[in-house]
Structure 1
């Protein structure tokens, strides 16, 4: 059966929505607590290593494509089970973090009286259905979602313009450069997730292009910088730092004429991003474990574990502490190690081809 069912456009959109969820939702609170008023400077600084990262990722992609090497190459190696477990666990954790944060936000924002299990089960079953249907379904849904998500983002950014005070962005480096550099690490931890494209390339019918990957990178920077600067100019650094989700809080300020409380639109934004990220992550994890044979129980098993893990009591404060001190630093280190692993694969496979 031919697995090449999506185009490069699909991958660009999946990267924007999936990676955009972490940089737009998860990274911003971490940036504000780490760099405070200078958080927006951290994002600008991080665009330099991010651009270099994209160039390196594209270089590896080209080499892999030239030598006809895919993720399947790893799964054919001697330690294929170890590879499947490590990366399957990585994508499972990504899905867990996304769903857990979504549940915390839903309970504190609009679903106060709805039981946790109702939210978890209903959303998980929707994501499970998409994961089972496959990458083509997920990417097709993403194409329809992206224009609406982008439109709503522009709406809240432009609509809140009268509420912005850009003087609140200054002075910069008031307490030195250290906080800004720390923020760069948090920003890059999210941005560097575009290495997910290596796991999507086996389903690609055509080829990725450098200019479009750079455009994806620019959009991810804007997705981070826009709401981050919005939070700082609308609430100030002190208040913005206290917020669990500054991007959502900006919707509470938005009004168009006599129409207020437009924050329901942000629910669509958030759930759309979370849906794509969770269903895509567990689709990839499932494929890593079903390479040699079709095991239909793998995906339901992953989702059952996800439901049980998310249902475990974990208060928002300690969860945020985990994200800041453990998840984001390890996520950054893991992605750097992954890129080095792909470079090693290129070297090993390249030598064999030359022989």
Structure 2
């Protein structure tokens, strides 16, 4: 029984683990392996310092906004135009998140489990579920996260433990084999995934209680662990050069995990993990894009959600092929994501330090 119309802190943590976790645990791994090879895991270690500073900035911003939505806070302090510009940029960003997640998920299902199923059929089913979640609201997305995440975590520990016999951790060394270039280049992709923690700023205003510093620290540690885990697993199981050639290293780890003497493959469990993260991530991205505009009528909000969902159908797998998509994520999407998240966070932190606009002889405080 849902007692509160707002998600609890624990539900918010689980939603972040699925929404941001799938990027760090799945999507960013191929780019990291291509960029840094054996030093990919060391790139994540090097990224801890900038990610720690980034997390501190997020804590500072949430303390100054006092759980107020960012676009409303910007509007009250700096006027309507900066607020509309912020909303426009973030709407495009959230739409891109939904498209990126949908494309990679549909490509994975086509290449692994459903090679003969029409792409449009998979697209419509997944988008229909995500559209329903976004329409019902963040409470529904949060409750669904709470139901889906426990088994996702259990399966994650299972595949890690089941593959121990195939792991050779000596393959993680030596670090800096080719100098500082590869790990520093890998930091771009590691930070791009880690900095998606920025999404917490759009969850915070909807919570029944504000997040505390310990919650930010806990989530930061979890997100970092979700990145290092599959990286070290892929390198130690396949060697860094083979892993860098794989399209889905995290999935390949499932293909060698068995269960007992008579079950040689358990990779079907990965379907549950991947689709759980993708569905929550796309649902939240669509919800956040519509939430930015604060529609007074639910019909107007649903129309925007429906337009975005319909637009995603051709973009989901028909406009680009996988080679073009990989080129885009490596050269544009992940580096662009890092620049956008870093830039917006710095601007919001600076804005939080500045006095608000004056009206009637007084300055509006946060």
145-154 or 205-214: bigger deviation: 205-214
Measured in 1, the distance between the counterparts of 2:223 and 2:344 equals 21
Q: Report what 1:326 is aligned to.
A: 332
Aligned with 1:47: secondary structure? Answer: helix
Kept after mapping to 1: 8 A contact 2:69/2:202: no
TM-score normalised per structure 1: 0.95
- 1:194 CA displacement: 1.1
Could you give the per-residue CA deviations for residues 51-94 of structure 1, whole angstroms, max 9, x where no partner exists?
Answer: 2211111111111118x564323356321332222111100000
Measured in 2, the distance between the counterparts of 1:39 and 1:240 equals 11
Q: Report what 2:291 is aligned to.
A: 287
C-alpha spacing 1:354/1:231, structure 2 compared with 1 (3 Å): closer
Q: Report what 2:304 is aligned to.
A: 298
C-alpha spacing 1:156/1:140, structure 2 compared with 1 (3 Å): same
Kept after mapping to 2: 8 A contact 1:4/1:202: no
Measured in 1, the distance between the counterparts of 2:207 and 2:326 equals 36
Q: Report what 1:29 is aligned to.
A: 30
Aligned with 1:260: secondary structure? Answer: coil
C-alpha spacing 1:74/1:169, structure 2 compared with 1 (3 Å): same
Q: Report what 1:261 is aligned to.
A: 265
Measured in 2, the distance between the counterparts of 1:324 and 1:62 equals 34
Measured in 2, the distance between the counterparts of 1:38 and 1:69 equals 39
Measured in 2, the distance between the counterparts of 1:205 and 1:75 equals 23
Aligned with 2:66: secondary structure? Answer: helix
Kept after mapping to 2: 8 A contact 1:71/1:202: no
Kept after mapping to 2: 8 A contact 1:75/1:84: no
Aligned with 2:266: secondary structure? Answer: coil
Gaps of 5+ in 1: none
Kept after mapping to 2: 8 A contact 1:7/1:205: yes
296-305 or 119-128: bigger deviation: 296-305
Aligned with 1:145: secondary structure? Answer: helix
Measured in 2, the distance between the counterparts of 1:118 and 1:94 equals 21
Equivalent of 1:213 in 216, 219, 222: 216
Could you give the per-residue CA deviations for residues 198-238 of structure 1, whole angstroms, max 9, x where no partner exists?
Answer: 11222121111111211111111111111111100110011
TM-score normalised per structure 2: 0.92
RMSD, aligned α-carbons: 1.8
Measured in 1, the distance between the counterparts of 2:126 and 2:259 equals 31
Equivalent of 1:345 in 345, 351, 357: 351
- How many correspondences in the alignment? 352
- 1:290 CA displacement: 3.7
Q: Report what 1:197 is aligned to.
A: 200
Q: Report what 2:360 is aligned to.
A: none
Measured in 2, the distance between the counterparts of 1:289 and 1:71 equals 9
Q: Report what 2:167 is aligned to.
A: 164
Measured in 1, the distance between the counterparts of 2:318 and 2:350 equals 39
Measured in 2, the distance between the counterparts of 1:45 and 1:202 equals 31
Q: Kindly indicate whether residue 50 of structure 2 is the aligned counterpart of residue 44 of structure 1.
A: no
C-alpha spacing 1:100/1:75, structure 2 compared with 1 (3 Å): farther
- 1:170 CA displacement: 1.3
- 1:255 CA displacement: 1.1
